[in-house]
Amino acid sequence: MEKVFVAQRVAKKLFTTEAAVDGALVEAAELMSEMLKARKDVHVSMVFADEVQVKMIEAMTALSEARSAMVAVHNELNEAKLRLGIRTSMNGENKPPEGAIRTETTLREVG
């Protein structure tokens, strides 16, 4: 099999994995937000379920570390691609797959 096709197959899985990690981080952040709102909505003290929030932050930290590791994997695979002599872009190799979660944000002025 040609190297470029193998590289494309790996790139597709890489992008899917990156999107999954980003998606998990988004879901975890939304869960944390809901937990904080729920505590306020039921009118309980900040100390209520504090250990749960600590665990949630630990989980989010682990997801953030996984994301950083995936960035490193991406960079290493790009270097490997170059070492194999594959110099062309592979159909949007640097673009996330269709439907992937966007990581850039648009800031707007409020107030």
Is 3 inside a domain boundary? no
- Is 103 a member of any domain? no
CA contacts within 13 A on the Cβ side of 67: 15
Domain tally, the chain:
1
pLDDT tens column, 30-52: 999 999 999 999 999 999 999 99
57-104 residue pLDDT tens: 999 999 999 999 999 999 999 999 999 999 766 544 455 555 555 545
In a domain, 17, yes or no: no
Whether the CB-CB separation of 103 and 28 falls below 8 Å is answered with no
- Decide if 70 is inside a domain: yes
Please indicate, yes or no, if residue 72 is contained in any of the structural domains: yes
| Whole-number pLDDT of residue 105 | 47
59, burial (CB in 10 Å: exposed 0-12, middle 13-18, buried 19+): middle
pLDDT of residue 109: 61
Q: In the structure, what pLDDT confidence band is assigned to residue 9 with cuts at 50, 70 and 90? A: very high
Q: What is the pLDDT of residue 97?
A: 53
On whether residue 74 sits in a domain, the answer given is: yes
Q: What does the longest C-alpha to C-alpha distance in the chain come to?
A: 63
For residue 1, name the pLDDT band (cuts at 50, 70, 90): confident
Predicted local distance difference test score (pLDDT) of residue 87: 79
As a whole number, mean pLDDT of residues 7-33 equals 96
For residue 15, tell me if it sits in a domain. no
8 A C-beta contact, residue 18 and residue 70: yes
**Residue 88 belongs to some domain of the structure:** no
Q: Structural domain of residue 71, as residue ranges?
A: 43-81
pLDDT at res. 101: 53
